[in-house]
Amino acid sequence: MTHASDRWESALLVALLAAIVLFTIITAQRGRKYFIRRIPGLNAIDEAVGRATEMGRPILMVPGLSGLGVVGLQALTIFSYIIKTAANFGNRIMMPVADSALYTVAEEVVRDSYAAAGRPEDYDSNSVYFLSDRQFAFASGVAGTIFREKVATSFLFGDFFAESLIFAEAGQSVGAIQVAGTVQTTQLPFFIASCDYTIIGDEYYAASAYISREPTLLGSLVGQDYCKILVLLVILIGVVGMTIPQLGKDWGFIQWFTLK
């Protein structure tokens, strides 16, 4: 569909999803408390940072290949939390970036995180650097860094494609503890095979709320849950409709979601 008018009901469902999220964000900002369950992989972050402190070797953070957008920003949000923790322990960090627009934001995020941890003087401007926007040139640089620096811990969050396994196996070879998460579902099996902890599916988007406990983000996350329930309901109604022969494909409800 190029416009909402191609199928109003479908467009309305999307608008409704957005509205639900906005609604729970607003209620959260007004002080309503929301609960979220434990997400195992995310608890591992502190442990991984601690490991690097013990070993006295650097922490690697890779925000994926994508540019300035939803996924890359989410990665930086997670990293800023990690950096604040790492700054307190005096760990050295390294963050190679693959997109120049995201790089500008990344540098600011790292600098701010050090400042927020009360150690602005520890910020090293060489720790965040643009490496290459070419997938495998970036991969060769990151893999080389992992081997040379024998990184103690590597955090891989963002949009990863085939290079995911290069990073994960390189980290494995040097004995790094690795925590990874990506929205690229096809790369998850490789992270699961080679990393110590893997964030799956929309746990990736839940991470910032989980870590920061910021009301806006918690509200949003709960809204997302409601949205998933709504989608699930729509699917189940559709399933019932298809199963009852008297309704079938031509039933109005099913037609609402049938794009030409």
Q: Which of residues 1-60 bind another protein (CB under 8 A)?
A: 1-7, 10-11, 13-15, 17-18, 21-22, 25, 34-37, 39
Token code pair at residue 34: 């929301």
3-state secondary structure of 128: strand
Residue ranges in 123-182 that form contacts with another protein under rule CB under 8 A: 126, 129-137, 139-141, 143-144, 147-148, 161-162, 165-166, 168-170, 172-173
Residue whose CB is less far from another protein, 54 or 93: 93
Residue whose CB is less far from another protein, 47 or 108: 108
**Cα–Cα nearest to 110, from 98, 99, 126, 131:** 126
- One of 70, 89, 120, 124 touching another protein (CB under 8 A): 70
Detail the DSSP E strand segments found in the chain: 59-64, 93-97, 128-130, 153-159, 177-182, 197-199
Under the criterion CB under 8 A, does residue 223 sit at the interface with another protein? yes
d(CA 56, CA 114): 19
Residue whose CB is less far from another protein, 45 or 170: 170
Token code pair at residue 21: 């999220």
Contact stretch for another protein (CB under 8 A) within 40-48, 49-57, 85-93, 94-102: 94-102
**Total residues binding another protein (CB under 8 A):** 119
Using the structure block, give the residue that is written with the tokens 């120049």: 100
- One of 104, 118, 120, 175 touching another protein (CB under 8 A): 104
- Nearest approach in angstroms of CB 89 to another protein is 19
* Residues in CB range of 230: below 8 A, 6 or more apart: 16, 17, 20
